[in-house]
Chain A
Amino acid sequence: MTPLLQVTDLATHFFTRAGALKAVDGVSFQLAPGEVLGLVGESGSGKTVTGFSLLGLIEPPGKIVRGSVRFEGHELIGMRERDLRSIRGRRLAMVFQDPTMTLNPVLTILRQMSLALQAHKQLSNDAIRARCIEVLTLVGIPDAGSRLDAYPHEFSGGMRQRVAIAIALLHNPSLIIADEPTTALDVSVQAQILTEMRDLVRRIGTSLIWISHDLATVSSLADRIAVMYAGRIVEEGPTAQVLKQPRHPYTQGLLDSLPSRTVPGQALPHIPGMMPSLLDLPQGCSYAPRCGRADDRCSSDPALTRVDAGAFRCHHPIGLDE
Chain B
Amino acid sequence: MTSDAFLAAEDVSKRFVLPVLWSERVAARFTRRGWIAPVRVVHAVESVSLFIRRGEVLGLVGESGCGKSTLGRVLTGILPASSGQVLLEGKPIMNAAGRKIDRRIQMVFQNPYASLNPRNRVGRAIAEGPLAHGLTTPAGAAAYVGGWLTRVGLDASCADRYPHEFSGGQRQRIAIARALAMQPEVLICDEPVASLDVSIQAQIINLFLQLRRELSLTMLFISHDLGVVRHLCDRVAVMYLGRIVESSPTASLYEAPQHPYTRALLASVPKLRLDQEAASFRPIAGELPSPLAPPSGCAFHARCALVQPICLSDVPPLRPIAEGREAACHVVTAGDARTIPQPPGPGKPRETPFTDKKIDFDRDSE
Residues of A within 8 A of B (CB): 42-43, 140, 142, 153-159, 186-189, 191-192, 194-195, 213-217, 219-220, 239-240, 243-244, 253-255, 257-262, 264-265, 267-272, 274-275
Contacts and interface: CB of A to CB of B under 8 A. Distances in A.
B307 to A, nearest CB: 17
The 6 A-B residue pairs with the shortest CB-CB distance, nearest first, are: A257-B202, A270-B202, A191-B283, A42-B197, A240-B277, A259-B231
A156 B287 contact: yes
B35 interface: no
B366 interface: no
Contact of A219 (B231, B272, B284, B349): B272
Nearest to B234: A265
Contacts of A261: 272-274
Interface string B21-62: 000000000000000000000000000000000000000000
Contacts of A217: 270, 279
B271 interface: yes
Give the residue among B63, B270, B273 with the most A Cβ atoms within 10 A. Answer: B270
Given A188-B283, A216-B272, A219-B278, A259 B227 contact: yes
B268 A153 contact: no
A239 B278 CA distance: 7
Given A156-B354, A264-B250, A191 B199 contact: no
Interface in B189-225: 197-203, 205-206, 209-210, 224
B270 A158 contact: no
B: contact size bracket: 35 or more
9 contacts: A43-B197, A153-B357, A154-B353, A156-B354, A188-B288, A213-B197, A213-B198, A258-B227, A259-B202
B270 A216 contact: yes
A264 B232 CA distance: 7
A118 to B, nearest CB: 27
B199 A254 contact: yes
Nearest to B199: A271
Interface string B232-271: 1000000000000000001100000000000011001111
Contacts of A220: 270, 278-281
Contacts of A42: 197-200
Contact of B199 (A154, A189, A253): A253
Nearest to A156: B353
A267 B206 contact: yes
Contacts of B282: 191
B206 A215 contact: no
Nearest to B281: A191
B271 to A, nearest CB: 6
B268 to A, nearest CB: 4
B104 interface: no
A198 B167 CA distance: 35
Contact of A260 (B273, B281, B287, B353): B273
B284 A257 contact: no
B209 A265 contact: yes
A271 B200 CA distance: 8
A201 to B, nearest CB: 15
Interface in B316-366: 346, 348-349, 352-357
A187 B265 contact: yes
B103 interface: no
A42 B167 CA distance: 13
B231 A154 contact: no
Contacts of A262: 231
B196 to A, nearest CB: 9
Contact of A255 (B269, B272, B280): B272
A135 B44 CA distance: 35
A274 B206 contact: no
Given A153-B356, A219-B278, A265-B232, 18 more contacts: A42-B199, A156-B353, A157-B356, A186-B288, A187-B63, A187-B268, A188-B265, A188-B283, A188-B288, A191-B281, A213-B197, A219-B279, A220-B281, A244-B277, A268-B205, A269-B202, A270-B199, A272-B203
B120 interface: no
Contacts of B209: 265, 267
Given A240-B277, A269-B202, A191 B268 contact: yes
A192 B64 CA distance: 16
Among A189, A268, A272, residue most surrounded by chain B Cβ atoms (within 10 Å)? A268
B268 A188 contact: yes
Contacts of A153: 355-357
B306 interface: no
B305 interface: no
Nearest to B228: A259
A275 B203 CA distance: 14
B169 interface: yes
A43 B269 CA distance: 22
Contacts of B265: 187-188
